[in-house]
Amino acid sequence: MIRFEGKVAIVTGGGSGIGAATARRLASEGAAVVVADVDLGHAEAVAREIVAARRKAIAAAADVSKEADVVALVDRATCAFGALDVMVNNAGIGGVQGDIDEVPLEVWQQVIGVNLTGVFLGLKHAVRAMKAGGRKGAIVNVASILGHVGFAHAAAYTASKHGVIGLTQAAALELGPLGIRVVTVDPAFIRTPMIAGMEDGVIPLHPIGRLGMPEEVAAFIAFLASDEATFLTGASYLVDGGYVAR
Of the residues 4, 81, 108, 157, which is catalytic? 157
Q: Could you confirm whether 157 is annotated as catalytic?
A: yes
Whether residue 142 contacts residue 126, with contact meaning beta carbons closer than 8 Å, is answered with no
CA angle 102, 94, 31 (to 5 degrees): 160
Whether residue 44 contacts residue 23, with contact meaning beta carbons closer than 8 Å, is answered with no
Q: Which residues pair with 118 in a beta bridge?
A: none
Whether residue 111 contacts residue 93, with contact meaning beta carbons closer than 8 Å, is answered with yes
Q: Which residues pair with 140 in a beta bridge?
A: 88, 183
**CA–CA separation, 103 and 71 (whole Å):** 31
Write out the catalytic residue numbers: 157
